Chains A and B, each alone.
Chain A
């Protein structure tokens, strides 16, 4: 009896281990998500300071009749300084520098962009919400503590007093950070955006798809439909399985050594990134597509052949259309993996600082995951927020792609 009790309690213990393992794994998912969301949500708002802006033509050396090009080229630095002086009168030089630091360094670009949209405002005054510097932003969001000694703070006591005065006047407000979604990278966290990286990833994925999908589809058609199992197919098959297990960084080395080193394609462009991701995705697509071709019943092929279709017509008119949903599902899942892949992009140089938004697969660019990596390497608190927000965006894209794959499978796949 004693031993039976022992066995039963061993049974209970074993089951508890299992439950614990499942619960712990699920706990990891939760804590990961919680951490990302709690650090990243701040990136979607930015702090602004309301200021009275007088577009003094003396400082920008343009007038109502200036061309757009002249407006674009003019220097707005002096104007920005003037705006600070007008809104904070009676500052000595030291105080002025401190107050200027409370606004973003890219203040002048904000003024320029406004004037380019509204050229008739030259010589007039308006009320504008000027973006605050990242350090001030972090103070307002509460990520930087206020109650530590002044030497450990990026914002000193004087700046805090100015901030409190502005707050009491109701001039400090938070707005939705559109810039995060529309701008390229920047050295300053408050003006850094993810759009350049999103476009870079998009171009890379387009290249990846246009390489891997047709070739993967045709290769699987050849292996499943046109060739009898033999030595050649064995070699190809072993090859494909091995390729699927090669670490992604090795594909990056292939891109660097072959595509850039030997063929001479340019460094850090989405074209090379997309090709490398395509090499990686190819085995996934071939494996999915073959499974899906195999699931098309032989009666379809025999029916087509019986009414006089050639082998080619059978395959292209009947078998491929029926297997396409399965192939597409595999392709989307493969592309989702490719989207999150960072190491190959590091190898081929898509981790540089790129401010411009790439206009095509031949412009220098970063990818979404490599931008996340870049930001995560920056020490500033403002970039920490951006990193998490970038991860949230990346996860959102992955969720969309995987949901699309599931939907395609449910809606279109034919069950035989």
Chain B
């Protein structure tokens, strides 16, 4: 009986789903009809979310890339429409200026305000007439979308076709950063509100107390639904669609059948950017165009895509609109007197909803979560065994001490920023580099240590307080590892991103826990009754202090250095130990690792816990550095940025973590770019993003691994040359023999 009902539900999915939704609405209506009104007035957000999710599904099916940048692509195209329609301008992308090769050396010797400023590319070109017509502006913006899709495919993701999932994730994160900075640099930082587009006006009154549906929002839902139906038809009835589906199932098989996976991937990229861009344009009158609002929709969009198994377009739209409606419902409930506002932050709950959606999706989907087929899966970056550890540690420590005590406050601060970043990058080396588990929640986990230390352990003596805080982070890490026991690759990345959002919204922004000020204070560390905090610049130990009296205190930097040395040596030892070999075995092949007796689950949990502990120490050091912990610093997208810089430095080695710290935001490299090359911070971030993409495409081992890779290539070249020479010899002797 039970089996037959299950079989019925499985067979009649659609009608059962529709009936369930209607029943649910009926129950809610009977309970309190007014609660449905906010749901219907949020469907426009749902349409936008669905468009972003459709793009994600398309690129995944077409090329195996889960594009974390699809939200920012949506707003990117909408900005071009704004430029054409409102300003009548064509914005020129930031192009390299050849004159800079003259400017940099000249300005090196000049004082501030007297810099040489040679001509540069124009930032925009005025188009004929004051403003373009809406139709022309839309067409031009969509041309931009098509070009962007082609560029992304040919320049970035085609070379990554056989790269590991990690490289693809990191590249799309790099793309996110680059497009965000591009928008900010070219279109300005203020949000564009109410960009004109002739959407339908007015509302449709719903029966009873259901409220209204704004016609403009309904129009967006209709558009996105039509697109979904079109995509369904395209994939079901056309040769292109069937080929894409075939390639998604089995890329090798598709090649055998004569399809070009490259063409399919390129076409799907173009379709994805086109759909995202179109909805971005259509939604521009009713949403803000800025670098945050729509780009952040990627989190719920990923939830919707996951619910749809990264396959069904119809389900993607339904899930997107459904999530938005659910957010409206939660917001309504949050305003009711019965709602425990002190315990559950209303706004946070709506933002964290995708996390719960992802959890439900995981539960419902179980083991059938998608893993896309591909011709081959590239190797993870090489995790070389550390060599010359002690000499390297001594030299690096001397350099750091020289920067702390011999240079001014700018270098001191950037050195401390670098040291804190090294700690967090180390945690990613353990988790991502050694075990291959992609975590996009590492900064959030680091933040738990900082917040809990501030809230509960601030009165404990140093260094007990940060260590206990780090243990709290380790507990969070172990909890996050639970889904990792059955998920890997991109699925794990999606869920950890959702976890990061949930931690940020439900813990860091929880007024009961973190207070209403938006930050928790962190007391300076004290050793033997002396304040070693960053602001105590008068502190002298053995007669030594920083070069000037401007914060930060050099001795706080020494504390950070001690932490970094201990943690680096610890990670080096882990890599060299039996545990390290087990971690790498799990990374290479879980089944093979299990076959040789390695407890894969235990190994993963250990890695998550250890990485979280390390990250937690980074979080506490960060708290000491600012004297407070804030949700902004440990937000979900901070995790993405840090993973990117860790990858740029070298994700699979301790030296990579050190390089990552140097290139991380506000680290030594940023200080060099800003104070020596006099580069705006936004441009520095842009360059960082571009560097990340280039690294991911050209050099998966990161900057730290570059020398080894160069050496390896030279060896390979020499071997090939030798083989060729020997072959020529053999051929020559064969020819001689035959004559």
Q: Are A and B physically bound partners?
A: no
